[in-house]
Amino acid sequence: MLEDKDLKIENLESEVRILQDSVQNLQLQVFDMQYFSLENNDDALSYYDHLGVDSPWRYISDKLLETNEQKGDNPLVPYEGMESDFKINKIKILNHQWIIADFSDGKYWGELLVKYELKDDLAVDFTMMDHLLYTRSN
């Protein structure tokens, strides 16, 4: 009976070690994914210190999403929607100048590389630098 409990404890300790390793690996993956991120880039964030904006990445994302509010396709997307209007869905602010964004019309999708400038009056200018539209093979 004591041997069974000892074996169970050993198995549980082994499982805990495996789970701790998994958590550590996931944390490293998260750190890698956050590397190109305004939110975690103190050098890039320092460009906005004088503006007094608590979360510049959230403010810029909101401003970019506001471009979806126009009737029709998003003005930054250089394609006409085929199923409906192309709108920006997902945004990754890389630093104090560049954004990568995903857009879709519900069936077709693509990506944009956008240059932006957050001005002292908190206006944000967006300029599409490059784009791609994925083709469907079926």
- Give the position of tokens 């550590």: 24
pLDDT (0 to 100) of residue 33: 76
**pLDDT tens profile 49-89:** 999 999 999 999 999 999 999 999 999 999 999 889 999 99
Is pLDDT of 137 > 70?
no
pTM recorded for the entire structure: 0.78
**pLDDT tens profile 47-60:** 999 999 999 999 99
Domain residue ranges in the chain = 1-33, 38-133
Instruction: List the Cα angle 95/34/115 in 5-degree steps.
Output: 25
